[in-house]
Structure formats: structure tokens, C-alpha cells
Structure 1
Amino acid sequence: MQWATLAAVAAFFAQDAAAQQMLRFPCSQLVVERTDPLVNPGMKYTPHLHQIVGGNSFNVTMDPNDDPAKKSTCTSCSYTQDKSNYWTAVMFFKAKNGTYTRVPQVGNGGPQGKLINKGGLDLYYIPSGKTTAFKKGFRMLAGSASNTDPKKVSSGNICHRCWTSPNEGTFVGAQPCSGTDTVDIPSDPKCKMIRQTIIFPACWDGVNLDSPNHQSHVAYGQGAGANGGGACPSTHPVKLPQIMYELMWNVTTFADKNLWPTDGSKPFVYSMNIGGSAAHGDYVFGWEGDSLQKAMDNGCTLNQNCPKAGLTVQSNAQYDACTKKQQAPEEVDGWLKEMPLGEMAIKA
């Protein structure tokens, strides 16, 4: 890695104390299924497939009156105290013959060290100034699963990076959603991996734990990217921890363009059968008690035990073992005849 890149990375992660004190930890897959208790509560075989991580109390309805921290008996995230649920769409590779297979995932590397997970994603909670932790019952959504126009997406908050290094441990580029990062999913055989970043709003209206569209009660602050959220607007004056999802999609085995579609369609799409413009993430808060507030107040950092906040880190074997049976059973592994949309998926 060139010194200029090293300097840019170091500058980003050392720009202030808040950035240094962010939580950064892995979550393995809890389940991959077609449920979405935020957008389609109570529905099985929802319009598209999700990968879900976090507490094992995740269910089809996720009643806001229930506390995931008390209902869950384990979490697929490394922090024992975090029984929240996080989910995203699934990336698929479309082959020339029209069949689909899920793109495998790996944990992230980066300047702060490697994170180990079994599928899933890596999570960041980035404080900035006086930060108020989420309340019991809080939930929100970033992005739009139906959007087909990349111009309607803030590239500073939702983006993709062509990862040209041989593994996730060799850092590529600078801070998230900068440089050559794009809203669209890269289609370049030089990409060894595709890093997906989803940054959530960090400003809250201070009143509503949710809203009909799961977005109006929160807002993005000034600026973009992983800066702790920026200054908040007067309509949403309460600063929240800035949540960021990072996913590393391993596309190495799909580098041969002879495998790619010849009809002009893209080789990589999300489970809505739409590209990067429809990337989105869902969040349901479920930290135990006031552990997240204590973590923000006491400068808990990275993926480490933090006695001042009562935070403890599990081994990867422990959080990998926290899984859940599909509530909407269908084949999601291997080659599929069609994208899992509408009826149950069928093996090719």
C-alpha cells in the first residue's frame, strides 16, 4: 500500500477522539430468509430475501413493545450485550444461463485489524460530541429497496468499492464512500471483493421511536460519510451514534467474464433484482439496559471488552453458533433457477 493511501487512512481514523473511540465489531449471519418485520410485519415470503444478524428473538412481527435484549438468549454479534437486529438485502451473481447464486461474504480487515464473521456484516457505532443512545423500541431504515435511480442516492452514505487487493486484510482506498466508490455495484473482473457501505442517519427528532416510512423520525446531519453524523438540523436536534454497516462480498470466483450474462444485464444484483441504487439496511435497537449509552460516554472502542460500560466480547465460535431456523423456509444456497421473488425458490 502506498504511503499516500496509508496517510489518508490514518488521517480518517485519527481525525478526532470520537473517531478513535468508535465501536467496530463483527456479526455473523443469524438467518437468511424472506421476512422483514420492519417493512412487512407478519408476512412470510416477503418480496425479497434478507440476511439478518443479531439477537435470536428476531421474528416475523417484532412487536415494538417487546425488548430484544430480554427476549433473546444469544446474539450473532460479538458484543454479548447487543441483542439488536440488523439486516440487509443479499447480493446475487447472475450467470450466463440465467441461474443465480448468493455471493459469499468474508469479515473485514482495515487499519484496526481483522474482524471474523460467518457471513453477516461488520458494524460501527461512531459517536460525535454529546451522543444520546437509542431507546427501547427504536427502529429505522436507510435506503430504498425499490429505487432504480442511482442519482437519488447520496453516494456519501450508501456506496460500493471495487476491492482489488487479494484479501480483505489489505486495505484499499481511504474513508468509506469516498474516491472512486460508486452507488452502482461495480462490474469489473479486477474486483476481488465488493465492499458495501450503508451509513444511517445520526439525528433524531427526540420524540418518535419510529415513523410510518421508518425514516422521517431521523435525518442526516451536515456532511456525509463516517464523520459521526455532522451537525444536526433543528427539526432533528438529538445526536445519535452513527451506525455504519460494512459488508465484504467475495466475487473472486466470478471473475471470469465468460460466466457473465451476455444479454447486457449486470452480473451482480441485490435480492430485489435491482443494483446498488436499491441497497438498504434495517435496524431494530436491542442493547441491554443502558449499556450502549455507557459505551458512548466511556469511550469504549473497537471490538474490545469495556468494563466501564459492562461490555464483554464473545469469541467468534460463540457468536457464530447463534443461529435461527428459517421462518419462511426455502432454498437459498447453491444455484437457484430463479431469484427468490414471489413463490418459494427452486434449486436449478
Structure 2
Amino acid sequence: MQWTLLAATLVAQHAAAQSMLRFACSQLVVERTDPLVDPGKKYTEHLHQIVGGNAFNVTMDPAQDPAQLSTCTSCSFQEDMSNYWTAVMFFKHKNGNYIRVPQVGNGGPQGKLVNKGGLDLYYIPQGKVTAFKKGFRMIAGSPNNKDTTRNKGNICNRCWTSSNENQFVGGAPCTGSDSMDVPADPKCKMIRQTVIFPHCWDGKNLDSADHASHVSYGGSRGASGGGACPASHPVRLPQIMYELMWNVTEFADKSIWPTDGSKPFQYSTHQDGASAHGDYIFGWKGDSLQKAMDAKCNLDRDCPKGGIHYQRPDKYSACTKPQQAPEQVDGWLKRMPAGAPAVKA
């Protein structure tokens, strides 16, 4: 108990010393599209939850600016029309049916974030950083990865043993017992998923064929703002981190878990936690992100000197859009959405 309190205190002190944006994004839509990996395709191989500006579409033409085309954002800063998306976590019942795991906002030393599904966003600077440019996009992780040691310091899952997301559990992200595997332990009340993006840019390419080669993690791992950047990628970016709180409390009874050797909690990639990944398309209005970083704007507060403005949860959570690849994604399903449209159980 004393160590937990000490760890929470140290994290809170670190956050106070290092100004960073930390804010909530509710779900814009849950559907099988992926305009980075499969532009123009409907019913992609796995399901995503997408947050951010409502200009999100199947193609996301790099020549078009989401900041200009969006009329609302599901994120709490009204200047942020970027799009962020991740795979979805499902619970598999022993009868073979699946259901999406519900989500809650994150809590902890920096205060509770409120979202309707979705995820929590961090923009963590270390020293002087260069904001992303119009048309910038990237991916962290891979939906095809099966290696549970690859990228472990930047993509991880934590068994959250408290039923209260405000009660801090563990140390910094992707440290201690955090794993790339999804925990399968009845003691877990929640599973916190963390996806940390590269923070070094080659300074030239807004994207690359694999959506990853134009960026690099540099000399360190974890949510520190990033270490030294290599000569190949010399431009330091704000470090982006996704946090998701999957509430598994209602599935803690092992008698309903699969008996066929499969895991109870699975990402929509049909693979283990190693396949966790995140996609990002930049869409902040004008130079608002650069100003916010230069002004050391902090957490999810209004920051007049940085020109960014907080909007209330009822406002950003109301920003949604219809599925572009319509199918059943709520309630019990006979299978996870893949291939043909999902079928209600």
C-alpha cells in the first residue's frame, strides 16, 4: 500500500514538472474501416474504434485537411480535429459468442477523464518539439505482430486490480508487470492498454509505405517524452500516447471463460495483446498544437496563451457519425467482425 501511494505521488510530481496535454476522446464511430492500411475499403479485416474529427472517412485523402472539413470533434480540445483509432477488445464466452468489453475514462493522480468509449490522449513534449505538419500520419505497433517481446516498452497491458479507475495501480506505463499479452486473471477489474507512438521524425516525409519508417522511437522507451533522436530521424515530435481502460469486472467469473484453450479477452485482430496498435492522422487547426507545446499548456485545461480551448464531455461526446461499413457491433455476436458482416447471437 505504501509503495502504491509513493508511486502515485512520484507520477503526480513528474506530471506537475512536465507539462503535457492529457485529454479524453469519446467514440466517433466503431466500424471496419482503416484509411491508412486499407484506404477506400469497407469491411476491413478487423474492427476499429475511431475518435476525433467527424471528417473521418474511408479514404482520408492526404491532400484534404481534417481541420478544415470537420464540423465537430469527439475530443475535448475543440481545435483538435485529428483522428485516432485502435482495435477493440472482446470477451469470448465459453459458448463461443463474443461481446465488446465496456470502457471507462482514466483516473489517477492527474484527475479523472470522462469519455464515452474511445480513449485518452497524451501529447508529451521533452524540451523543444516540432508539431506535426498538415498531412502527417503514422502507425504504432502492428495488427499482425505475434511477438510478445517486440515493442514491449511502448505497447502494453496492465492488470488493474482496483474497481475504481481513480485509484492508481502500478508505476509508469509499460513498466513493472505490464505485458504485451492481455492479462487473463480474475483479479483484474480492468485492463489498461497503452500505445506509445514514435517521437522522432525524418523531417521530410509526412508518411511512408509502412506508415512507420518516417518516424523512430529514438533512444528510449516509455512515456518520458522520448530519448535522443537518431541522425536519420533528427526532428523531435511531441510523444503521443493512447490509454484505454477496458472494464472487465463483469467477466471475472472464470466459469464463463472459454474451455477450448482460447483466451477470454481478445483484441479484434483475432490475436493476442501483441497485435495491439494505434493509428494517427494529424488534424489540429492551424498552428494550434505548436503554440500549445511552446506555451507548455497542461492537461485538459483551457490554455489561452496556447490558443486551445476545452469543451465539456456532453459536447465532445455528442460528436458521432454513422458507420460507413454498417454492421452489428453491439451486444452478443456469434463471431468477431471479420470477413462477412457480424451476426447477432
- After superposition, what is the alpha-carbon deviation per residue over 1:252-298, rounded to whole angstroms, capped at 9, x for unaligned? 00000011000111001111111101000000000000000000000
Shift of 1:223: 1.6
Task: Tell me which of 295, 310, 313 is aligned to 1:313.
Answer: 310
The TM-score with structure 1 as length reference comes to 0.98
Equivalent runs, 1:314-329 vs 2, <5 Å: 314-329=311-326
- After superposition, what is the alpha-carbon deviation per residue over 1:188-240, rounded to whole angstroms, capped at 9, x for unaligned? 01000000000000000000000000000000021210010111111100000
CA RMSD of aligned residues (A): 1.0
Shift of 1:56: 0.1
* Structure 2 residue 262 is matched with structure 1 residue 265: yes
C-alpha distance in 1 between matches for 2:320 and 2:15: 37
C-alpha distance in 2 between matches for 1:166 and 1:344: 34
The residue aligned with 1:109 is 107
Structure 1 regions of 5+ residues with no counterpart? none
Equivalent runs, 1:246-325 vs 2, <5 Å: 246-325=243-322
Checking the alignment, whether the CA contact within 8 Å between 1:54 and 1:86 is kept in structure 2 is: yes
* Structure 2 residue 198 is matched with structure 1 residue 201: yes
C-alpha distance in 2 between matches for 1:261 and 1:267: 6
Shift of 1:179: 0.7
The residue aligned with 2:27 is 29
Amino acid in the other structure paired with 1:292: L
Aligned residues: 345
Structure 2 regions of 5+ residues with no counterpart? none
- After superposition, what is the alpha-carbon deviation per residue over 1:125-182, rounded to whole angstroms, capped at 9, x for unaligned? 000011000000000000010112212x221100000000121111101110111101
Checking the alignment, whether the CA contact within 8 Å between 2:116 and 2:317 is kept in structure 1 is: yes
Amino acid in the other structure paired with 1:91: M
Checking the alignment, whether the CA contact within 8 Å between 1:23 and 1:125 is kept in structure 2 is: yes
C-alpha distance in 1 between matches for 2:128 and 2:2: 34
The residue aligned with 2:146 is 148
The residue aligned with 2:329 is 332
Q: Secondary structure of the residue that 2:67 maps to in structure 1? A: helix
Shift of 1:5: 2.4
Checking the alignment, whether the CA contact within 8 Å between 1:9 and 1:175 is kept in structure 2 is: no
Checking the alignment, whether the CA contact within 8 Å between 1:13 and 1:20 is kept in structure 2 is: no
Amino acid in the other structure paired with 2:233: H
Amino acid in the other structure paired with 2:192: R
Equivalent runs, 1:1-348 vs 2, <5 Å: 2-15=1-14, 20-151=18-149, 153-348=150-345
C-alpha distance in 2 between matches for 1:51 and 1:16: 28
C-alpha distance in 1 between matches for 2:189 and 2:15: 32
Checking the alignment, whether the CA contact within 8 Å between 2:98 and 2:336 is kept in structure 1 is: yes
Shift of 1:20: 2.6
Amino acid in the other structure paired with 2:130: T
C-alpha distance in 1 between matches for 2:12 and 2:229: 22
Checking the alignment, whether the CA contact within 8 Å between 1:132 and 1:239 is kept in structure 2 is: yes
C-alpha distance in 2 between matches for 1:258 and 1:139: 43
C-alpha distance in 1 between matches for 2:213 and 2:23: 28
C-alpha distance in 2 between matches for 1:199 and 1:237: 19
Checking the alignment, whether the CA contact within 8 Å between 2:15 and 2:110 is kept in structure 1 is: no
Shift of 1:241: 0.1
C-alpha distance in 1 between matches for 2:195 and 2:269: 17
CA distance 1:82–1:61, shift in 2 (3 Å): same
Checking the alignment, whether the CA contact within 8 Å between 1:84 and 1:286 is kept in structure 2 is: yes
The TM-score with structure 2 as length reference comes to 0.98
C-alpha distance in 2 between matches for 1:253 and 1:271: 19
